[in-house]
Structure 1
Amino acid sequence: MSSESARMTTSPPHLPRPRLGPHLHRLATVVGPVLAALVLAGLVLLALGVDPLAYYGTVVQRGLLSPTGLQASLTRMAPLLLIAAGLIVAFRAGIWNLGGDGQFLLGAVVVAALGPALVGTIGVWPTLVACLVVGAAVGAVWSVLPALLKAGQGVNEIITTLMMTFLGVSFANVLVKLAFRDPGTTVPQTRTLDVADRLPRLFDTTVSSGLLIGLVAVIGVHLLMTRTAFGLKLRVVGANTRAAVHAGLSVPKLTVAVFAISAALSGLAGAVEILGVQGNVRADWNPAYSLTVVPLVFLARFNGFATIAFVFLFSVLSIGGESAARRLGVPNYFTLVVVAILLVLLGLAEYLDQRRRLAGK
């Protein structure tokens, strides 16, 4: 046997390094930035003179482990999930609908005025159904102008939807203070829908059944975008508009449809918030849920099930963070700081992952 043959028989073959599966790798690129963001946010807390372990412990205790806190976190999820569902449709179709806050608030104001007026006439359940439909319709109508400008003239929807949000928030305040104001109160607000006439609670808890509406919406949108021909058309438009036109798709009609669906879900979120939690709308009330949900949808990479997880995490941080802020003197908006750090780290992780994939080719 020659020396070369001996080396071939005795030397171990060169095996490629084991690689993580695609799903495990994707999980690692999400979990890693989350943990790093918590660490960096903890360093910020240390710089503020706050014990990060005490802060995170309070957040978990008040937002997750406490029965009342967990129920509040689940209830907070309802409007966030509906807005997230609308954003998934828009973003997967390549459309930036940033007008969700105006659509949400107008839907909420109209429903807050309509609910007390209808409940004594047609009953509770017909009123709830009618209000949900009206809230979605109001949101969709408020998106007509940006949709037509985008579909017909190619006007940038980021500008038009942000302008419509400003107008929508201002118009909602005018309605609360003038047309829909409850004359029996000194503080400008709409009439209050009685607790007995609102969406029912789940399983003898304080969790609004709006949570089920939000879960159904997100899962339905996920299946729509991944399992139907209509969803495939929207994804083709989002990936390459020229290819969509070449394939014979009516891009203007699909654009208007995307705006209508996305805005209707935002308006429905406003209706669910009023019918399930608030019962009325006060002057200058604007929780600004839409812009808060945008990074969560990006963190989930437009996946419906991952969106549910991130919305739950944010709800726990939000509810628990409110208690931690009162106890430890941390600003109420610190939860948004954590989300911002997380978004930056996720973008950095995505960039490094792309560099790694290009280097491996």
Structure 2
Amino acid sequence: MAGLIILAMGSNPLDFFAGVWTYGVTGSNWQRSLVLMAPLLIVAVGLIVAFRGQLWNLGYNGQYLLGAVVASGFGPYLFDAMPVWLATIVIFLGSLLVGAIWSLVPSILKARYGTNEIITSLVMSFIGIGVANLLIKGPFKDTTTPQPQTAVIGDENLLAYIPGTSIHVGLIIALVLAVVAQFVFSRTSFGLRMDIFGASPKAARHVGINSTWMVILLFALSSGLIAFAGAVDVLGQYSYQRANWNPHYGDAVMPFVFLARLSPIAAIPLVGFYAVLATGGTLAAQQAGLNVDFLLVIVGLILIFMTITEYVGERRRLGQSYLPPGLRRTLARPFQTGAARKES
């Protein structure tokens, strides 16, 4: 389908896909793809934590930027005041804490009053994006440049590279997080409680699971990890942050999170695929005479075909749903209610 769209736009789809491979994999380009994969995978794990608990954390853009501004804004001062390793730990903990705190409003409203977390998390995301921009243009602004950006963190203070490569250790951190999350979900009592809560909050209350604290905890873990991805990205790759910058990582990886059926391990190759597509596709689109936004079209096509597969799997019983039982029932409830009203 993407190839047909490229043809309709007057370009050669073979040139585009060959360019994705060339600029995303061959030579040393694979290292750039793996650098991008680090924050993408951490964001994916953060989303999986919320989705497995039947919670829709859609505030990822604001959470990511707030975590990034913790690193870019405080980093230059902390690295001057303390050893690099200690400053890095403080920045990582600070980003996790900021993300967790930013989730309190939607999580408490959801837990105590049943407020739709899709709306509240999106509102908090818009506010978070605004706060990050205000900080970059205000107290964190680098006074030595007219551009609204933070001071550049020195190369000696950034995350170390994996020996023999230009890939920072943030990728190892991301892979370890995915493995640990998979173990927690599948091999611990907390993972079992989370799955029970995600499948049925009412059943969870009957077996003694505190639904209020579960909502708050899962939202905090999800938001904290996404903010942590922002700090890893700044300390591993960018070294500073400009106003109005937003990579929209959450929008990009969400389809692959569901393709992985909310499994952190299964998400690794899928996120890696998108990292190659994003890295190589940017230059490939330019070479093929396409707008870079065409990559978003490909992600949109993936969402469309996921929707079709979901319909076929559920209505025709020819496959398995991409959604876990709890989320599937939540989405189906409005349609069931509407059908019941028609029958009555």
TM-score (norm. length: structure 2): 0.90
Partner AA of 1:277 in structure 2:
Q
Indicate yes or no: 2:301 matched with 1:320. Answer: no
Indicate yes or no: 2:122 matched with 1:188. Answer: no
> Between Structure 1 and Structure 2, whose CA radius of gyration is higher?
1
Indicate yes or no: 2:50 matched with 1:56. Answer: no
Partner AA of 2:146 in structure 1:
T
SS of aligned partner of 1:184: coil
- Once the two structures are superposed, the pairs formed by residues 128-167 of structure 1 within 5 Å of their partners are 128-167=88-127
SS of aligned partner of 2:242: coil
CA distance in 1, matches of 2:219, 2:170: 23
Partner AA of 2:18 in structure 1:
G
Confirm or deny: 8 A CA contact 1:111 1:271 kept in the other structure. yes
Confirm or deny: 8 A CA contact 1:150 1:157 kept in the other structure. yes
Report the alpha carbon displacement of residue 356 of structure 1 after superposing the two structures with TM.
Answer: 4.8
Aligned pair partner of 1:300 in 252, 260, 264: 260
Q: Which residue of 2 aligns with 1:174?
A: 134
- Once the two structures are superposed, the pairs formed by residues 322-341 of structure 1 within 5 Å of their partners are 322-341=282-301
Q: Which residue of 1 aligns with 2:197?
A: 237
**Structure 1: runs of 5 or more not aligned:** 1-39
Residues 57-85 of structure 1 show CA distances to partners (whole Å, capped at 9, x for unaligned) of: 01011101231x21110000111111111
User: May I ask how many residue pairs the two structures share in their alignment?
Assistant: 319
Report the alpha carbon displacement of residue 346 of structure 1 after superposing the two structures with TM.
Answer: 2.7
Residues 282-305 of structure 1 show CA distances to partners (whole Å, capped at 9, x for unaligned) of: 111111111222111011111112
Indicate yes or no: 2:27 matched with 1:44. Answer: no
CA distance in 2, matches of 1:219, 1:162: 29
Q: Which residue of 1 aligns with 2:330?
A: none
Report the alpha carbon displacement of residue 195 of structure 1 after superposing the two structures with TM.
Answer: 1.0
Aligned pair partner of 2:161 in 172, 180, 201: 201
Residues 306-336 of structure 1 show CA distances to partners (whole Å, capped at 9, x for unaligned) of: 2111100001000111111221111112222
Report the alpha carbon displacement of residue 355 of structure 1 after superposing the two structures with TM.
Answer: 4.4
CA distance in 2, matches of 1:352, 1:159: 29
Confirm or deny: 8 A CA contact 1:88 1:221 kept in the other structure. no
Partner AA of 1:167 in structure 2:
I
Residues 100-137 of structure 1 show CA distances to partners (whole Å, capped at 9, x for unaligned) of: 11111011112111111011221111111111111111
Aligned pair partner of 1:94 in 54, 71, 75: 54
Q: Which residue of 1 aligns with 2:216?
A: 256
Report the alpha carbon displacement of residue 350 of structure 1 after superposing the two structures with TM.
Answer: 3.5
Q: Which residue of 2 aligns with 1:267?
A: 227
Confirm or deny: 8 A CA contact 1:299 1:343 kept in the other structure. no
CA distance in 1, matches of 2:216, 2:287: 47
Report the alpha carbon displacement of residue 249 of structure 1 after superposing the two structures with TM.
Answer: 1.1
SS of aligned partner of 1:221: helix
Confirm or deny: 8 A CA contact 2:179 2:265 kept in the other structure. yes
Query: Once superposed, what is the RMSD of the aligned Cα atoms?
Result: 1.4
SS of aligned partner of 1:86: helix
Report the alpha carbon displacement of residue 258 of structure 1 after superposing the two structures with TM.
Answer: 0.1
Confirm or deny: 8 A CA contact 2:67 2:98 kept in the other structure. yes
Report the alpha carbon displacement of residue 153 of structure 1 after superposing the two structures with TM.
Answer: 0.9
CA distance in 1, matches of 2:67, 2:317: 45
Report the alpha carbon displacement of residue 41 of structure 1 after superposing the two structures with TM.
Answer: 0.5
Report the alpha carbon displacement of residue 343 of structure 1 after superposing the two structures with TM.
Answer: 2.2
TM-score (norm. length: structure 1): 0.86
Partner AA of 2:142 in structure 1:
D
CA distance in 2, matches of 1:311, 1:151: 31
Confirm or deny: 8 A CA contact 2:255 2:302 kept in the other structure. no
Q: Which residue of 1 aligns with 2:176?
A: 216
Report the alpha carbon displacement of residue 354 of structure 1 after superposing the two structures with TM.
Answer: 3.7
CA distance in 1, matches of 2:236, 2:245: 16
CA distance in 2, matches of 1:283, 1:354: 44
